[in-house]
């Protein structure tokens, strides 16, 4: 009995707090009206990263350390993996020994050439002997250059055993595990730079002239209930001979970290202008099979009204076909309007 009383008291306090918040923060409303808006052609699209990189091994060896996993954020130049460098170290040591040997041979060839030149002055050797000594010196010099180049390559190869991130971004795929063998060209990690996204849409060739004439579009991402402006549209000049479609690339503005490659999207291309009854898309509330808006009357009371929607109208608007009349006001934040209840007041009340 006591717990029931306490529960009722807590509910009453919560209700009073909700009403106080509602009174302190009036609902934002907008007027339903006819506007000249874009008529659109809509199609499915997929999000992809503008900057994406696949990190592959450049030397063979066993992966002894893997420092990152899927979802980790990394900086450009950060070490993400290490490959066993013992074999690379042995190759480098062998190359450095060859350099030392070649330099010793060069020093010996220089001494022989100097000796032959002095003997030629004393007429103890022929010119042919001097020419041979000079040829030996040049060959030894070339061997030093070749050995130093080999040592430099071995040094670079040893450096490849430390794998670093080429760009700053987020790891999206990890193709290997610690202990596996890395081979040149084998992908290890895939990463992308968040916040710089675009979408790819397949468009029938018959629609390309209309889309090109206005070159204006918006992108809807249903998973985050967001609309994005398109800062650049590129119609890729190739067509699929099987589907007779052309790919269109749309670079997005102000993308967020919750938008990532592979996310489903819808691209809405402007193909003309028309006068339509519209409301902000954010004012629409979807409850299972029911779609509606919260209408705010002259006294500031709210009521849920079921509506029938048409096509998106661009600029964050959507067409209303039935359920509401021009001049009525709807709450821009339907969730807040639903929590506030029918007694909520609008700023103009």
Predicted pLDDT at 348:
41
Predicted pLDDT at 3:
52
Predicted pLDDT at 302:
83
Cα(200)–Cα(45) distance, rounded to whole angstroms?
A: 5
> Residue 2 — pLDDT band, cuts 50, 70, 90?
very low
In this model, does residue 16 exceed pLDDT 60?
no
pLDDT, mean over the chain? 83
Predicted pLDDT at 158:
81
pLDDT in tens, 163-204: 999 999 999 999 999 888 888 888 999 999 887 889 999 999
pLDDT in tens, 248-296: 999 988 776 678 889 999 999 988 888 888 888 888 888 878 888 888 8
Cα(294)–Cα(305) distance, rounded to whole angstroms?
A: 6
Cα(185)–Cα(175) distance, rounded to whole angstroms?
A: 12
Phi–psi pair at 63, nearest 5 degrees = -75, 115
- Alpha-helix residue ranges (DSSP H) falling in the chain: 2-24, 86-121, 127-159, 208-214, 334-340
SS3 of 55, please?
A: strand
Look up residue 253 and give its two tokens: 């503005």
Predicted pLDDT at 174:
92
Predicted pLDDT at 341:
62
Predicted pLDDT at 166:
92
Cα(191)–Cα(51) distance, rounded to whole angstroms?
A: 9
Q: What is the DSSP letter of 84?
A: -
In this model, does residue 347 exceed pLDDT 60?
no
The upper half-sphere exposure of residue 111, i.e. CA atoms within 13 Å in the direction of its Cβ, equals 6
Whether domain 55-83+161-192 has CATH 2.40.50.100: the reply is yes
Every domain of the chain and the residues it spans: 25-50+194-340, 55-83+161-192, 85-158
Predicted pLDDT at 247:
94
Contact of 268 with 41, CB cutoff 8 Å? yes
Cα(178)–Cα(82) distance, rounded to whole angstroms?
A: 9
Q: Which CATH code for domain 25-50+194-340? A: 2.40.420.20
Tell me the pTM: 0.62
In this model, does residue 345 exceed pLDDT 50?
no
Contact of 195 with 49, CB cutoff 8 Å? no
Whether domain 85-158 has CATH 1.10.287.470: the reply is yes
Predicted pLDDT at 81:
92
pLDDT in tens, 21-46: 444 457 788 888 888 887 888 899 99
């Amino acid at each position: 009995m006591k717990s029931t009383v306490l529960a009722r008291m807590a509910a009453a306090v919560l209700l009073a707090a909700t009403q106080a918040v509602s009174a302190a923060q009036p609902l934002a409303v907008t007027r339903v009206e006819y506007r000249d808006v874009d008529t659109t052609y809509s199609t499915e699209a997929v999000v992809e990263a503008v900057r994406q990189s696949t990190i592959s091994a450049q030397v063979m060896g066993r992966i002894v350390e893997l420092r990152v996993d899927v979802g980790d954020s990394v900086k450009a130049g950060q070490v993400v993996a290490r490959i066993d460098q013992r074999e690379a170290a042995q190759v480098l040591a062998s190359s450095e020994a060859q350099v030392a040997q070649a330099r010793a041979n060069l020093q010996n060839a220089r001494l022989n050439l100097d000796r032959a030149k002095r003997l030629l002055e004393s007429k103890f050797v022929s010119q042919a002997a001097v020419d041979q000594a000079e040829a030996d010196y040049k060959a030894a010099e070339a061997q030093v250059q070749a050995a130093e180049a080999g040592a430099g390559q071995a040094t670079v190869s040893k450096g490849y055993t430390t794998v670093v991130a080429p760009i700053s971004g987020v790891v999206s795929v990890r193709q290997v595990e610690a202990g596996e063998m890395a081979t040149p060209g084998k992908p290890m990690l895939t990463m992308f730079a968040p916040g710089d996204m675009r979408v790819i849409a397949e468009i029938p060739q018959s629609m390309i002239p209309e889309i090109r004439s206005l070159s204006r579009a918006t992108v809807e991402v249903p998973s985050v209930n967001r609309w994005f402006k398109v800062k650049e549209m590129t119609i890729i000049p190739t067509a699929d001979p099987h589907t007779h479609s052309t790919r269109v690339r749309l670079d997005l503005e102000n993308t967020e970290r919750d938008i990532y490659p592979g996310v489903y999207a819808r691209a809405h291309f402007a193909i003309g202008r028309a006068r339509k009854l519209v409301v902000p898309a954010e004012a629409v509330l979807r409850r299972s099979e029911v779609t509606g808006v919260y209408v705010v009357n002259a006294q500031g009371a709210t009521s849920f009204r079921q509506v029938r929607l048409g096509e998106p109208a661009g600029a964050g608007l959507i067409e209303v076909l039935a359920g509401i009349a021009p001049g009525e006001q709807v709450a821009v934040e339907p969730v807040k309007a639903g929590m506030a209840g029918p007694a909520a007041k609008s700023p103009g009340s």
